[in-house]
Structure 1
Amino acid sequence: MVQRARLDAPQVAVIGGGYAGMACAVELVRKGARVAVFERASVMGGRARRVEKDGLSVDNGQHLLLGAYSETQRLLRHVGVRPSVFHSAPLDLYYPGKFRLTAASLPAPLHLAVGLLRAQGMDWSERRACLRFIQHLKAQRFRLPVHLTVSQLLDNATQPERLRRFLWEPLCVAALNTPAAEASARVFANVLRDTLAAGASASELLIPKIDLSELFPVPAARWLGRNGGQVYVTEAITEIVPHGPRYRLEGDPVSARRFDHVVVATAPYHATDLLAPFAALAPLVASIQALPYEPILTTYLQYDDSVRLPAPMIGAEGGLAQWFFDRGQTGGPAGLIAAVISARGPHLDIPKHEVELAIHNELETLLDRRLPPADSILTITEKRATFACRPQLARPGVKTAQRGIWLAGDYVDGPYPATIEGAVRAGVGCAQAVAGATKNDQQ
């Protein structure tokens, strides 16, 4: 249910039309606020958006969602996005000829136990070790020391090398975009708690059939328009200027407008430019500037329709690419393959055309066949795709020391790494904090 905004309702500006910003805006409008969203780009979605180049229309990186993404799915339903936009399947970690673990469609813990019974490339000691690891986490209620890395956690739980190589370390890099030797075990445990340890539906893979801009930001913008919100694209906000107890924005097309609250929902490295003029925010700016980052490289190869993977998603090891996605099996053009390399690695020091050739060769090895030349190839490297999810990393909260200035983004403090769900939860949490502050002011 949406509360219609009264004329005396607080005015809130949201700077950034990505997942966090749009989630915040939708939640604020639901609570009766008057909201304006400003996005500097022509395409909405922030770091999860559509890119059109060299004849290809693709996402700036291959993303997938999980059944455990409860807040994302709630808001998708609210703005009218139907579940049919996803290709959904049980969690399937498949390395052709080497390893396969598919969760069964059963309640926890049977989904994992039956999956392990059917697993390929695992002996009985490895199956027991996998169950023992989950029990190890459950015994600690998934609350791990803040200083622990994922590698140290795996050492403590005496996980076999094969499980580390094909299960835990790939899951760590895929979820946290941080190598296991550097990744936070506490955050990794949170991810496992809400997915693999929670049941088949929670660990279900949800691969969007449509691009990431159309998945949520664009439907959210339409919903905002129908419910009194305003969304501006190609409107770069360059400064937040105090105006008495309120704020005006340099770049706002309605120059006379004043806002009670401003939510900075940009990427963290853009947020600091907007926050720096406020003396009270100097420590916050320094902490954001200190955030470490990890890249994600995605190479799209458009082959003819004879090229098809044995599953919509397959793993690779020993080369550059870590995962291959067959977009033709999930609503995209037949023959479109996406190869993903998460986190830092030797690929960053190799010329782009050599990376693309290596990925083509690795795909031939995986499929055990010669492939025709790709009709088109597009490589997208997001050098600061996510923050590096390391132990004891200081992440800011949604509230700042400057009254009326708030943060939303996948980097703000929360239980999850920099994922779509993390961004959405940050946006919802920010909206709740703004609404709570407004209610206190009115009392």
Structure 2
Amino acid sequence: MLNVAVVGGGWSGCAAAVELVRRGAAVTLFEAARTLGGRARRIDVAGRTLDNGQHILLGAYASSLKLMRTVGIDRGRAVLSVPLQMRYPPGGMQFVAPRLPAPLHLAFALLGAKGLDREDKLAMARFSTAARWMGWSLDNDCPVAELLERFDQTPRLVDLMWRPLCLAALNTPLESASAKVFLAVLRDSLGARRQASDMLLPRHDLSALFPDAAAQWLQQRGAIVRLGAKVSQLQENNGRWLLDGEAFDKVVLAASPVATAALLAPLPAAAPLVEQLAAFTYEPITTCYLQYGAGVRLPQPFFALEDAPATGHWGQFVFDRGQLDPAQAGLLAVVVSASGEAAALPQQELAQAIAAQVAQAFGRPELGSPAWLKVVTEKRATYACTAGLVRPANATPLDGLVLAGDYTAGEYPATLEMAVRSGLAAAALLH
């Protein structure tokens, strides 16, 4: 039986481990932290169970949803499914796809959109039609801002639709974000069949959404899951691999690009790969949690927010966690993507500014005074998904060692689906 080490217990590492066991391998999963999930995980703060960030899945995330079913996750209980939408607080833009067959759902969403002028709607229709004609792909990559300018998108549509979608999906500003990757995201949201375009909001914390169940599934089948187990040294020895002296036939490196580069640095054959990983830059994501009384509730589970950093409006999306999990009644989570400037502020100052923004956006002054607040910043939440970025393949020049992670080559940005796809692809290479 093939003996495989998986280094990293994020979504990609868990996916690789499950697939390897399913294919008959003996697996040991190493995770340096005490909680599985990597950059999409549960955290405990002041007696509260929170996430290190807020994620939305799509109905098109076939690999993630299938793997969740494999390890026993009930989709109906795990996520809240809502139609594709971009809603702002009452009085702002409302774009909601009705539950009609594609592409009627998108056409009716555009016709019924509120807060957009006729010129904005025509621009969006023109862009969507052209993108569909192009197969939602580009031969030559360019920044998203350049693509939108090429198709004469109006400033209002860019501000209310394209920029927030780009930040949410790629965590990279329009001016540098990859148009090729952005189009792939739009293909599986705006351009997808109705059910595939649904937005899936996690009801559980992110570790419980998949990694915890994956660990239990693995252990029931004889795999070993080691938490708090950081791998410090990787050596090749007579066709096998030594991880801190422990021998394995094969290795899946499913750690972050930074940790992966550190493990590979002593290996001469990995030098080009290490150099490639060193060229990556990163963008943070900040989540501000605001706790109110249990009776506080927003009209919908989540809304987009108009951010304006110059006036202290940092929030881009707000989620009513109580509508997803009754145990979190009165808890709002406000997300700031590509949050370098916001994260540089003192946490209390940033949280108070975001609370004031939410209060103003909804016309509810009481939201400016939460009973409790917490700012969580994941400093290297994703790599900067820039135009023309060359991402490494799962395969490496090292025999029996493969990479897994949302940063590897693929059509998606650093999403849960990309992490899972990469883990599955890495496992397939080894078995």
**TM-score normalised over the length of structure 2:** 0.95
For residue 98 of structure 1, report the CA deviation from its aligned partner.
1.7
Counterparts of 2:129 and 2:422, CA distance in 1: 30
Question: Are the aligned partners of 1:294 and 1:386 in contact in 2 as well (CA < 8 Å)?
Answer: yes
Determine the structure 1 residue equivalent to 2:383. Answer: 387
Determine the structure 1 residue equivalent to 2:247. Answer: 258
Determine the structure 1 residue equivalent to 2:48. Answer: 56
Of residues 236, 250, 270 in structure 2, which corresponds to 1:281? 270
Encode CA deviations 1:210-261: one digit per residue, 9 max, x unaligned.
Answer: 11111111101111112222211111111112221101211xxxx6x52111
Counterparts of 2:425 and 2:140, CA distance in 1: 23
How do 1:356-371 and structure 2 match up within 5 A?
A: 356-371=351-366
Helix, strand or coil: the match of 1:371?
Answer: helix
The yes-or-no answer on 1:135 pairing with 2:124 is: no
How do 1:284-303 and structure 2 match up within 5 A?
A: 284-303=273-292
Of residues 189, 196, 200 in structure 1, which corresponds to 2:190? 196
The yes-or-no answer on 1:419 pairing with 2:415 is: yes
How do 1:259-338 and structure 2 match up within 5 A?
A: 259-317=248-306, 318=308, 319-331=313-325, 332-338=327-333
Counterparts of 2:127 and 2:70, CA distance in 1: 37
- Name the CA shift for 1:370/1:344 in 2 (closer, same or farther; >3 Å): closer
Helix, strand or coil: the match of 1:283?
Answer: helix
Counterparts of 2:137 and 2:146, CA distance in 1: 15
For residue 146 of structure 1, report the CA deviation from its aligned partner.
3.3
The yes-or-no answer on 1:355 pairing with 2:356 is: no
Of residues 179, 185, 188 in structure 2, which corresponds to 1:185? 179
For residue 124 of structure 1, report the CA deviation from its aligned partner.
2.8
The yes-or-no answer on 1:35 pairing with 2:30 is: no
Deviates more, 1:111-120 or 1:71-80: 111-120
For these two proteins, the number of residue pairs brought into alignment is: 422
For residue 311 of structure 1, report the CA deviation from its aligned partner.
1.2
Question: Are the aligned partners of 2:283 and 2:340 in contact in 1 as well (CA < 8 Å)?
Answer: no
Question: Are the aligned partners of 1:54 and 1:378 in contact in 2 as well (CA < 8 Å)?
Answer: no
For residue 71 of structure 1, report the CA deviation from its aligned partner.
0.3
For residue 345 of structure 1, report the CA deviation from its aligned partner.
4.9
For residue 400 of structure 1, report the CA deviation from its aligned partner.
0.9
Counterparts of 1:241 and 1:160, CA distance in 2: 55
Determine the structure 2 residue equivalent to 1:166. Answer: 160
For residue 128 of structure 1, report the CA deviation from its aligned partner.
2.4
Question: Are the aligned partners of 2:284 and 2:340 in contact in 1 as well (CA < 8 Å)?
Answer: no
Of residues 394, 398, 411 in structure 1, which corresponds to 2:394? 398
Q: Which amino acid aligns with 1:81?
A: I
Question: Are the aligned partners of 1:142 and 1:190 in contact in 2 as well (CA < 8 Å)?
Answer: yes
Encode CA deviations 1:104-163: one digit per residue, 9 max, x unaligned.
Answer: 111211010011122111233322221211111122122214331111111111111111
How do 1:99-114 and structure 2 match up within 5 A?
A: 99-114=93-108
Deviates more, 1:304-313 or 1:110-119: 304-313
Encode CA deviations 1:18-61: one digit per residue, 9 max, x unaligned.
Answer: 10000001111111111110111111101110000123210001
Encode CA deviations 1:172-192: one digit per residue, 9 max, x unaligned.
Answer: 110000011110000001111
Q: Which amino acid aligns with 2:47?
A: G
For residue 346 of structure 1, report the CA deviation from its aligned partner.
3.1
Helix, strand or coil: the match of 2:365?
Answer: coil
Deviates more, 1:14-23 or 1:103-112: 103-112
Helix, strand or coil: the match of 2:86?
Answer: strand
Counterparts of 1:78 and 1:59, CA distance in 2: 23
For residue 348 of structure 1, report the CA deviation from its aligned partner.
3.1
Helix, strand or coil: the match of 1:195?
Answer: coil
Q: Which amino acid aligns with 2:171?
A: N
Counterparts of 2:340 and 2:128, CA distance in 1: 29
Q: Which amino acid aligns with 2:428?
A: Q
Counterparts of 1:42 and 1:352, CA distance in 2: 25
Counterparts of 2:117 and 2:372, CA distance in 1: 42
Of residues 13, 16, 32 in structure 2, which corresponds to 1:24? 16
Helix, strand or coil: the match of 2:248?
Answer: coil
For residue 194 of structure 1, report the CA deviation from its aligned partner.
1.6
For residue 200 of structure 1, report the CA deviation from its aligned partner.
1.9
Runs of 4 or more off by more than 3 Å in structure 1?
none
The yes-or-no answer on 1:121 pairing with 2:115 is: yes
Question: Are the aligned partners of 1:196 and 1:202 in contact in 2 as well (CA < 8 Å)?
Answer: no
Helix, strand or coil: the match of 1:106?
Answer: coil
Counterparts of 1:301 and 1:122, CA distance in 2: 30
Determine the structure 2 residue equivalent to 1:44. Answer: 36
How much is the aligned-residue C-alpha RMSD, in angstroms?
1.3
**TM-score normalised over the length of structure 1:** 0.93
Q: Between the two proteins, what is the percent identity of the paired residues?
A: 45
Counterparts of 2:297 and 2:341, CA distance in 1: 28
Counterparts of 1:232 and 1:68, CA distance in 2: 32
Question: Are the aligned partners of 1:14 and 1:36 in contact in 2 as well (CA < 8 Å)?
Answer: yes
Counterparts of 1:417 and 1:72, CA distance in 2: 15
Determine the structure 2 residue equivalent to 1:438. Answer: none
Gaps of 5+ in 2: none
Q: Which amino acid aligns with 1:73?
A: L
